Amino acid sequence: MTRDKRTRDGEAFVKTCLVVDDSRVVRKVARRLLEDRDFAVAEAADGMEGLAWCRAMMPDLVLLEASMPLMSGLEFLRRLRLEPGGRAPKVIFCSTEANLDRIREALDAGAAEYIIKPFDGDIVADKLALAGVA
């Protein structure tokens, strides 16, 4: 994730996103969709790696899988908020978990939005707008 990177139109990226997901395929898809929307994207395969990224450079947005080995999405979010500057990023959960009680739990913990997998570009665009990071 570098702030001097250019978009396909040659414009400077103005927003940064960290994708925290243990699936390489999901990270790749999310990166493509977010870069299409002018985000500079970094990837982390688990919560610990994600927190290390945030300590190095706090992103504007975190796209976060709820269910990961080592550290759950909820635990990542709790720890993120304790980091210096960690209250600033908008966090959008992104998970196959579609139980409304679990979704409510994520929102109550401070998630700005929630994406149910599988998703497409339209859904990502709508959720970014609803989270106020479009």
Residues that bind other proteins in the complex, under the rule CB under 8 A: 98-100, 103-104, 107, 111, 113-116, 119-120, 122-123, 126-127, 129-130
Task: Enumerate the β-bridge partners of residue 17.
Answer: 41, 61
**CB–CB of 7/13 below 8 Å?**
yes
Measured from the CB of residue 100, what is the shortest distance to other proteins in angstroms?
Answer: 5
Q: Which is nearer to other proteins, 81 or 102 (CB)?
A: 102
Measured from the CB of residue 85, what is the shortest distance to other proteins in angstroms?
Answer: 24
Q: Which is nearer to other proteins, 53 or 114 (CB)?
A: 114
Q: State the Cα–Cα distance between residues 14 and 88, nearest whole angstrom.
A: 16
Measured from the CB of residue 60, what is the shortest distance to other proteins in angstroms?
Answer: 19
Task: Label residue 105 exposed, middle or buried (CB < 10 Å: 0-12, 13-18, 19+).
Answer: middle
**CB–CB of 26/65 below 8 Å?**
yes
Q: Which is nearer to other proteins, 40 or 89 (CB)?
A: 89
Measured from the CB of residue 42, what is the shortest distance to other proteins in angstroms?
Answer: 24
Q: What angle (nearest 5°) sits at the alpha carbon of residue 17, between those of residues 125 and 51?
A: 140
Q: State the Cα–Cα distance between residues 114 and 33, nearest whole angstrom.
A: 16
Q: Which is nearer to other proteins, 88 or 130 (CB)?
A: 130
